[in-house]
A and B are shown apart, each in its own frame.
Chain A
Amino acid sequence: DGGITQSPKYLFRKEGQNVTLSCEQNLNHDAMYWYRQDPGQGLRLIYYSQIVNDFQKGDIAEGYSVSREKKESFPLTVTSAQKNPTAFYLCASSMPSGSSYEQYFGPGTRLTVT
């Protein structure tokens, strides 16, 4: 089945540690995205990548880093510089073309930093 996988579903880290969240898609989509969701709020864009080996900052990129070495994979690293890392992180992918611009989302990773 085609889709987006994120692992793990729950992640716990100590303050000061970097942590990497995994995102893999087999939809053959060119574009991939990372969003952050805080309780009772909408989604905010962290980073996005239109093609392999290229990515752009979103609205809240500070304290995060990404890489896009393969079309299928777009890992997100939450660094110790991120002041408030506890949140729900969602990965998405899309193939903007013609009239098809919807993004498809993975199941999310809930990160707790203490």
Chain B
Amino acid sequence: AQKVTQAQTEISVVEKEDVTLDCVYETRDTTYYLFWYKQPPSGELVFLIRRNSFDEQNEISGRYSWNFQKSTSSFNFTITASQVVDSAVYFCALIPRSNDYKLSFGAGTTVTVRA
């Protein structure tokens, strides 16, 4: 069985502040895939990033960056210089290689960026 924990329920920041979202996962598989999704107020989930368990390189995409650490089973997400458009619910998710149809989601972190 696998589990994804997002301990932060809500985060509120002022525009231009950085915000880091925590994600801790559990799985018995040695090969697995981690994801972050964004859910804006419209409701549709938008895929942000996939990370394979055998690739621990951190990644940066514009103002977004991800820190993957297998040693602590964490896959944290940082938004740099936040903007009001970043306000959304962010979900961390995991798929184990042994069942690549079973996407397990964390409960989500609601980010509110105030102007």
Contact = CB atoms under 8 A, between A and B. Distances in A.
A88 B108 CA distance: 15
Contact of A45 (B47, B103, B106): B103
A35 B35 CA distance: 16
A22 interface: no
A42 B90 CA distance: 10
Interface string A81-101: 000000010101010100111
Contact of A105 (B45, B52, B95, B107): B45
A105 B44 contact: yes
Contact of B105 (A42, A88, A106): A42
B45 A99 contact: no
Given A108-B43, A108-B44, A101 B102 contact: no
B40 to A, nearest CB: 11
Interface string A1-36: 000000000000000000000000000000101000
A33 B102 CA distance: 10
Nearest to B97: A101
Interface residues of B, number: 22
Given A41-B108, A101-B100, 8 more contacts: A31-B101, A45-B102, A90-B44, A101-B95, A102-B33, A102-B47, A104-B47, A105-B47
Contacts of B100: 96, 101
A43 B91 contact: yes
A103 B106 CA distance: 15
A42 B106 contact: yes
B33 A90 contact: no
Contacts of B33: 99, 101-102
Contacts of B103: 33, 45, 103
User: Nearest 10 CB-CB pairs, A to B?
Assistant: A42-B105, A105-B45, A96-B100, A108-B43, A107-B44, A42-B107, A43-B105, A101-B33, A101-B95, A102-B50
